[in-house]
Structure 1
């Protein structure tokens, strides 16, 4: 959501017109580089470190700040939003995972409050923006928002800086995976699939994004995969660029997602994408990616073997991926989002 907010408002700022933007940020956010924001920053004084405190701020304090600033419209870009506003509000809801896959959420005490807050934010919103047809359908189903009040506006990808794909394969076959360790990410499937491949053909697996004691470590140990699987925490830009440069492909075995920004970022960099066969991945990857059943470790093992041994396949996927990524731009996201803002304003005045 941070990438979405930053790139959307950077692109909105580049559009013509006399729009004025005021950003309302957390206490921690105010200390960051916010030069990308095309307007004035207002510090909320509310910490974003505690989910409940920040959610309370979204529900109650945003409306007060908006009233104080006499704004014409409120945009909440991170799923939650104010419970009640005097002016029209647009809320961007990225996914409905707490509703559709509660069993895969790692914060069960947070699930019921989030669902209540999402329901309140959606009820107050003049319009809801979401990022895929999957999420649109689920917002309609779980929150009761009419489909004609929901606008699907996809995200865009931008390749990490300083990636050199001429180095691809220079460290041997390597499958890259990036993301948090929430159960819906299904990283265990990637480790189990690699274990099914004969050792002489087996690619290395690098999974970044862990924090603290990695919950994947016991699986790696139990399968004897320590030599082939490297579990990393959050990595800096230089390491991201290195891994994107040397990797054979990116793999995402998720059971569910709201979108798939890493897919577009990989394709933009020239890195083939291997994706679980779920609707949202088909929406993003199109014909440029290769797909597998996230519950079928053997099918994933076969696909890993294929991409690591067939240079022609990699070349075809790279070319198709670059073309696919060009279809998604932040300029398009900004243009369509501002059209939603204008519609919300127009409706409120009629």
Structure 2
């Protein structure tokens, strides 16, 4: 697993002033739980703003600079709303899932949606923050520090020419963008139709303007390099910084006592075509033909183009007793459930990193995953790899992993124990800091 690789030397150059774009993060203030990009944005915002970076926010007046403490206060409010640090015992969704797994819940059309009640005070505070940010006067973008590095961790609004115009007017400011993936470019069929236009446009703007790019995997860095070269820019410095896993996944955790001896599997990710939930639902429908199937917990919110998946979950009689849709599950709740799972399943057609795989490996939970370059880069030979189109192979794998004496599961655990997969959150930030310092030291 390549930690800290980049295409330019990582120097100890003096830190440059950083302008960090918090626009997308602020818009997530009322979302009940974060997705992968939210987590990356949140972590980097905390890191850079905690070191005194200047926040940039798009308001009704366009891009404006704001106060660092104001942005940190909003981030703290979002963190409280997400309840990422809460104990699993405080998570109603977690308790509902455990009850169903233990046989105490209903047995038809099991759909457990977000039921965490953050309280009027936190909702009201976040709503006021959204309103205040929308009409925030701030300071003109022209006051950005000379020679600053502008960091955008989400690519949000970078497809809009009016939004990037200030960068064209400030050639002394060096933009750095986090490239999560180019999947909407390579596989537009998995995304909303508008993404086939917007994602190429935002990546072309990055290729044209960026002084450097960061990605979580070598696979994505190489793909963006090819895209940039196709668009007339073959010289963009790149840094590979694998995403850190929350410490909660490395901490020892015992499965709930009520689930002792229960067979269940977890799939984690937004319900959308690229995640290939449909394959798993067909596997579970086949399993149900020969008797009670193990439970499948689908963790994640509903995304886009997922009507066939939702129809199967809610209308297929043979799935009603075995498939649990758990929307809004907290991170601590997910960790507790992982502790007793037979395996994490990841049948995706494509990923930029695959944070659930990293989380499961850190937690010591076996992983059955699509045979993707990014998963090989992340987990080496430890996961059990299958083709995402191999329905019979996935069916057999689930059968093989059932029960406490599964030889195939034991073999995967042995490979995980022998591997040298390490999680070092500090290395992620140090790698990016050194890269940003290198970018800032380059001549205009």
Q: Which residue of 1 is the match for residue 83 of structure 2?
A: none
Q: Is the 8 A contact 1:26 1:46 kept in 2?
A: no
Note the C-alpha offset of 1:150: 2.2
Note the C-alpha offset of 1:256: 0.5
* Equivalent of residue 153 in structure 2, options 60, 77, 87: 77
Q: Distance in 1 between matches of 2:55 and 2:413?
A: 38
| Distance of aligned partners of 1:116 and 1:126 in 2 relative to their CA distance in 1, 3 Å threshold | same
- Between 141-150 and 285-294, report the one with greater CA deviation: 141-150
Q: Which residue of 2 is the match for residue 225 of structure 1?
A: 319
Q: Is the 8 A contact 1:157 1:328 kept in 2?
A: yes
Q: Distance in 1 between matches of 2:138 and 2:349?
A: 34
Q: Is the 8 A contact 2:263 2:294 kept in 1?
A: yes
Alignment of 1:127 onto 2:216: no
Indicate the SS of the match to 2:223.
Answer: helix
Q: Is the 8 A contact 2:347 2:370 kept in 1?
A: yes
Q: Distance in 2 between matches of 1:108 and 1:153?
A: 30
1:188-219 per-residue CA deviation (whole Å, 9 max, x = no partner) reads 11111223335347321111213399732322
Q: Which residue of 2 is the match for residue 174 of structure 1?
A: 264
Q: Which residue of 2 is the match for residue 90 of structure 1?
A: 176
1:287-346 per-residue CA deviation (whole Å, 9 max, x = no partner) reads 111111100110001111112244454345346446758523221111211121111111
Given the two structures, how large is their TM-score scaled by the length of structure 2? 0.64
1:91-115 per-residue CA deviation (whole Å, 9 max, x = no partner) reads 111100110110111x212430232
* Equivalent of residue 296 in structure 2, options 187, 205, 210: 205
Q: Is the 8 A contact 2:263 2:295 kept in 1?
A: yes
Q: Is the 8 A contact 1:195 1:223 kept in 2?
A: no
Q: Which residue of 2 is the match for residue 33 of structure 1?
A: 76
Q: Distance in 1 between matches of 2:386 and 2:149?
A: 43
RMSD of equivalent CA atoms: 3.5
Note the C-alpha offset of 1:76: 1.0
- Between 280-289 and 189-198, report the one with greater CA deviation: 189-198
- Between 122-131 and 154-163, report the one with greater CA deviation: 154-163
Q: Distance in 2 between matches of 1:263 and 1:141?
A: 26
| Distance of aligned partners of 1:237 and 1:344 in 2 relative to their CA distance in 1, 3 Å threshold | closer
1:58-105 per-residue CA deviation (whole Å, 9 max, x = no partner) reads xxx99953x424152111111344632431111111100110110111
Indicate the SS of the match to 1:283.
Answer: helix
| Distance of aligned partners of 1:6 and 1:109 in 2 relative to their CA distance in 1, 3 Å threshold | closer
1:138-157 per-residue CA deviation (whole Å, 9 max, x = no partner) reads 21232334266222221122
Which structure has the larger Rg?
Answer: 2
* Equivalent of residue 371 in structure 2, options 277, 287, 293: 277
Q: Which residue of 2 is the match for residue 109 of structure 1?
A: 194
Q: Which residue of 1 is the match for residue 423 of structure 2?
A: 328
Q: Is there any run of 5+ residues in structure 1 with no aligned partner, and where?
A: 37-44, 54-60
Q: Is the 8 A contact 1:158 1:264 kept in 2?
A: no
Q: Is the 8 A contact 2:353 2:374 kept in 1?
A: yes
1:140-185 per-residue CA deviation (whole Å, 9 max, x = no partner) reads 2323342662222211222546762455962511010111112111
Q: Is the 8 A contact 2:271 2:303 kept in 1?
A: no
Q: Is the 8 A contact 1:91 1:127 kept in 2?
A: yes
* Equivalent of residue 257 in structure 1, options 342, 351, 360: 351
The higher-RCO structure (CA 8 Å, 6+ apart) is 2
Indicate the SS of the match to 1:294.
Answer: coil
Q: Is the 8 A contact 2:270 2:303 kept in 1?
A: no
Residue correspondence of structure 1 range 236-247 to structure 2 within 5 A? 236-237=330-331, 239-247=333-341
* Equivalent of residue 240 in structure 2, options 152, 170, 183: 152
1:115-154 per-residue CA deviation (whole Å, 9 max, x = no partner) reads 2122112311101111212212221232334266222221
Q: Is there any run of 5+ residues in structure 2 with no aligned partner, and where?
A: 1-36, 60-69, 80-127
Aligned length: 324
